Amino acid sequence: MKKVLVVLAIAAMCGSIAQASYESGSCTSGSISGSFSNAVFVVGLGWSSSGGRSVSFSGSCSACNNAIGIYGWMCQSPAVEYYVGASGGTSKGTYSCNGRSYTLYTQQVNSAPSVCGGGNFVQYNANGSKSSPIDMSCHFSAWQNLGMPVGSYNYMVVNAESWSNQSGNYNISVSGSSWYTKWVNAGSVSLSCGGGGSTTTTTSGGSTTTTSGGGGGTVVVRARGTAGSESVTAFGSTWTLGTGMSNHSISTSATSGTVCFTNDASGRDVQVDYVVIQGSTRQAESQSYNTGVYQNSKCGGSYSEWLNCNGCIGF
């Protein structure tokens, strides 16, 4: 059942299932919560671009088929979708992380849409404990030692999901997280970031309503793209940049957040000039958190206006 859900979720992200809805955005509070009704869905809180890290988290989900564990993608060749705390496929061997034993299972998925593009990918399922913390650098190294390639990291989240049209509620807290994802294929699902700001409720047909959580305010992001087709997500808003510097205003009471580049490709880069948060101007080149700049022959660094890879600047 999980495999079927995953394939449907990927198709939804790529727009190939008309009734599915997908959204993502900034969430620097480190927690999300919500409820769901007759739903087939996936929600996650973590990072829009992330390699190995130790993930500390907590949470619960009533009536979920899979919760609470690690879920992510690696856009390598072949692309990889991975879970920690799930099973399914052919065993590749056992290993130990954080003093816990795991068995890695893999399975090939063909002719199915992928967040990385193309139609084929491999699913890695690390069957074992889902208890916090989970050291993903240990898991990635173990998978490589078992002969399975690792690299080109896309997003990684702590997830909750259901594929059996159940109704219930969920909550997820992740230390140091800054980004959420929500996919809905049936029913309705609400999501509140940190219990403040606003709550969005998305239905399977794509209808989204936003309920104010109180408090006004504005964030202004000034940025440009080099190609004019770059997609940016910041403070719960997503838009496409032009090649000239322009301001994008977002109604939010947030006092911190991220600006994320999400569709990196050849010839595409994003330059962020500054962000004005509740009247305070913060220059991009003064921020130490930057997972999208290309520095020292890899993605990720600090103190730069540039996002050359899928990643975020924290403000």
> Band of the pLDDT at 17, cuts 50, 70, 90?
very low
Greater confidence (153 vs 104) lies with 104
> Band of the pLDDT at 292, cuts 50, 70, 90?
very high
Cα distance between the two ends of the chain = 40
> Looking at the structure, do residues 14 and 128 belong to the same domain, yes or no?
yes
**313: part of which helix (H) or strand (E)?**
strand 311-314
> CA 177, CA 156: separation in Å to the nearest integer?
10
Maximum average pLDDT range among 62-71, 91-100, 113-122? 91-100
Over residues 87-110, the mean pLDDT reads 95
**81: annotated active-site residue:** yes
Low-confidence winner among 76-90, 161-175, 284-298 (lowest mean pLDDT): 161-175
Say if residue 210's pLDDT is above 70: no
pLDDT of residue 184: 86
Q: Report the share of the chain in percent with pLDDT over 90.
A: 41
> Band of the pLDDT at 82, cuts 50, 70, 90?
very high
Greater confidence (2 vs 48) lies with 48
pLDDT of residue 200: 55
pLDDT of residue 251: 74
> CA 222, CA 211: separation in Å to the nearest integer?
26
Name the nearest CA neighbour of 135 among 98, 179, 81: 98
**23: annotated active-site residue:** no
> Looking at the structure, do residues 163 and 181 belong to the same domain, yes or no?
yes
> Looking at the structure, do residues 95 and 199 belong to the same domain, yes or no?
yes
Say if residue 178's pLDDT is above 60: yes
- Of 212, 233, 259, which closes a domain? 212
Over residues 78-85, the mean pLDDT reads 93
Say if residue 8's pLDDT is above 70: no
Q: Which amino acid is at 24?
A: S
Q: Spot the catalytic one: 161, 230, 285, 305.
A: 161
pLDDT of residue 246: 86
> Looking at the structure, do residues 270 and 142 belong to the same domain, yes or no?
no
> Band of the pLDDT at 20, cuts 50, 70, 90?
low
> Looking at the structure, do residues 172 and 276 belong to the same domain, yes or no?
no
> Looking at the structure, do residues 281 and 197 belong to the same domain, yes or no?
no
> Looking at the structure, do residues 56 and 158 belong to the same domain, yes or no?
yes
Greater confidence (122 vs 49) lies with 122
> Looking at the structure, do residues 108 and 192 belong to the same domain, yes or no?
yes
- Of 185, 212, 239, which closes a domain? 212
Q: Which residue matches tokens 């322009």? A: 246
Domain boundaries, position 227: 218-314
Say if residue 303's pLDDT is above 90: yes
Q: Report the share of the chain in percent with pLDDT over 70.
A: 86
Say if residue 194's pLDDT is above 90: no
Tell me the whole-structure pTM to 2 decimals: 0.61
Q: Which residue matches tokens 């889902």? A: 130
Any idea what the CATH number is for the domain that residue 263 is in? 2.60.60.40
> Looking at the structure, do residues 52 and 195 belong to the same domain, yes or no?
yes
Over residues 119-128, the mean pLDDT reads 92
11 φ, ψ (degrees, to nearest 5): -60, -40
> Looking at the structure, do residues 171 and 239 belong to the same domain, yes or no?
no
Say if residue 218's pLDDT is above 90: no
The pair of three-digit structure tokens given for residue 176, joined into one six-digit string? 């140091």
- Of 197, 212, 227, which closes a domain? 212
> Looking at the structure, do residues 203 and 165 belong to the same domain, yes or no?
yes
Q: Which amino acid is at 181?
A: T
Say if residue 213's pLDDT is above 60: no
> Band of the pLDDT at 215, cuts 50, 70, 90?
very low
The pair of three-digit structure tokens given for residue 99, joined into one six-digit string? 């003093």
> Looking at the structure, do residues 187 and 288 belong to the same domain, yes or no?
no
Total number of domains in the chain: 2
Say if residue 307's pLDDT is above 60: yes
Any idea what the CATH number is for the domain that residue 173 is in? 2.60.120.180
